[in-house]
Amino acid sequence: MKVIRAKSAGFCWGVERAIDIAREYATQGKRPVFTDGPLIHNSQMMEKLESEGIREVGDYLSQTSLNLGLGESERRRAVMVVRAHGISPERRAYLKSLELEFRDATCPDVGTIAGRIKLHARKGYTTVIFGDPKHPEVIGLMGYTEGRGHVIKNEADIDALPPLGEKVCMVSQSTMFTFEFEHLAEYLKRAYPGAVVFNTICGATRERQSDVLVLADEGAEAIVVIGGRHSANTVKLAALVERQSLPCYHVETAAELDLSQLGKYKVVGVTAGASTPGFLIDEVCEKLALL
C-alpha cells in the first residue's frame, strides 16, 4: 500500500506552545503542574504529560470548582497552566484566586479573537460567534462579550436571534469551516448590513482542511484521520473527507485501524488534527505501510 501523509498533520504551533509551557515547568521541578481541564484534546498525549508530572484537573468545559488538596509547601511549588483553548475572564479570576503561580498557555490565535470581541464589546457591539456553544473555546470567548453574545451554527440560528441593534460584530471559533463561515457572514449581513465581520478561523485549521483536498488530488482512495473524538478540528477534517465522497476512517490510535477494510485500497491518505502527537501519526503510517 502507498501511504500519503499530509504535510500539515499533527500539532499546530499553538498546541505545541501550550505543551512546551507545561513541560518547562515540570522539568524545572515544579510539582504539581496543573491544567484546568485537558491542556489539549488528545487523551493519549494527556496521559503522556501526566507521566511527566502534568496533572489535568477540573472538567472538559473548565467550569467546576477545584479542590486541589495542597498543603502550604506544595502550594508554593505548584503552578496552574491555562489550556490552549482559553478561558473566560471570570474563570481567569477564579484560577488566580487559588493563589498558585499562574501561566496562560492560551493559543495566541484564540487570544486574538478574544481581543477583537473585548474591543468591540466595550464599544457597545453585540457579538455573534460561529461555533459550537459547548466547546471550551467558545465558552471562553463568550465571557468577553459583556453579556451581549450569541453563538450560531447555521441559518436557522441566525433567524432565531433577537434584534441585535445597529452594532454587530461577527467572529468564528478558530476550528470551523471557512466556507461555512463566509456563507453565514453573508446571511447575517442581509439582516445587519453594517455588521463588522472578522474571519478568525486560524491558519493551521485552513491548512489542514486544504491538505485534505491535496490528498484527494494525489490519488488517495480513502483517508485516515487521526485525532481525539473531542477535538473539533479533527472532527471537521473527517467531515471534509466525507464531503469529498471518500471513505473516511477516524481513529485515535493505530490499534483502531480496520485493516480488513483498509487493505482493499492501493493508496491511502493520512492526516491528523492539530492536537495529535507525531508518535501516533508515525504508528498509523507504519502499520498501513505493511498492508
> What residues pair up with 249 in beta bridges, in sequence order?
224
Question: Are residues 128 and 85 part of one domain?
Answer: no
pLDDT at residue 79 in the model:
94
Residue 21 has pLDDT above 90, yes or no: yes
Tell which wins on pLDDT, 117 or 76: 117
Kindly report whether the global pTM for this prediction surpasses the value 0.85.
yes
pLDDT at residue 70 in the model:
83
Show which of 172, 197, 222 is a domain's final residue. 197
The whole-number average pLDDT for the span 287-291 is: 94
C-alpha 212/C-alpha 57 separation (Å) is: 34
C-alpha 174/C-alpha 181 separation (Å) is: 11
pLDDT at residue 67 in the model:
84
For residue 250, give the nearest of 265, 268, 272 by alpha carbon.
272
The whole-number average pLDDT for the span 158-168 is: 97
CB atoms within 10 A of CB 140: 26
Question: Are residues 94 and 163 part of one domain?
Answer: no
Residue 30 has pLDDT above 70, yes or no: no
**Domain range for residue 217?**
2-10+203-289
Question: Are residues 210 and 256 part of one domain?
Answer: yes
- Provide the grid cell at 273: 488534527
For residue 34, give the nearest of 71, 64, 66 by alpha carbon.
66
CATH of the domain at 212: 3.40.1010.20
**pLDDT for 196-249, tens place per residue?**
999 999 999 999 999 999 999 999 999 999 999 989 999 999 999 999 999 999
**pLDDT for 65-108, tens place per residue?**
998 888 887 888 899 999 999 999 999 999 999 989 999 999 99
Question: Are residues 141 and 78 part of one domain?
Answer: no
User: Which candidate in 24, 47, 74, 137 is catalytic?
Assistant: 137
> What residues pair up with 148 in beta bridges, in sequence order?
none
The whole-number average pLDDT for the span 48-62 is: 90
The percent of residues above 70 in pLDDT, for the chain, comes to 100
Angle at 99 between CA 110 and CA 145, to 5 degrees: 30
Cα-only R_g, the chain: 21
Q: How confident is the model at residue 150 (pLDDT cuts 50, 70, 90)?
A: very high
Question: Are residues 191 and 132 part of one domain?
Answer: yes
Instruction: Count up the domains in the chain and report the number.
Output: 3
CB 231 within 8 A of CB 275: yes
Active site residue 74: no
Helix H or strand E segment including 237: helix 232-243
SS3 276: coil
- Provide the grid cell at 91: 474563570
Question: Are residues 46 and 125 part of one domain?
Answer: no
pLDDT at residue 74 in the model:
82
End-to-end CA distance of the chain: 6
Question: Are residues 211 and 185 part of one domain?
Answer: no
The percent of residues above 90 in pLDDT, for the chain, comes to 88
**pLDDT for 249-272, tens place per residue?**
999 999 999 999 999 999 999 999
Show which of 197, 225, 254 is a domain's final residue. 197
Question: Are residues 274 and 224 part of one domain?
Answer: yes
Burial class (CB in 10 A: 0-12, 13-18, 19+), 239: middle
Show which of 81, 106, 131 is a domain's final residue. 106
CATH of the domain at 83: 3.40.50.11270
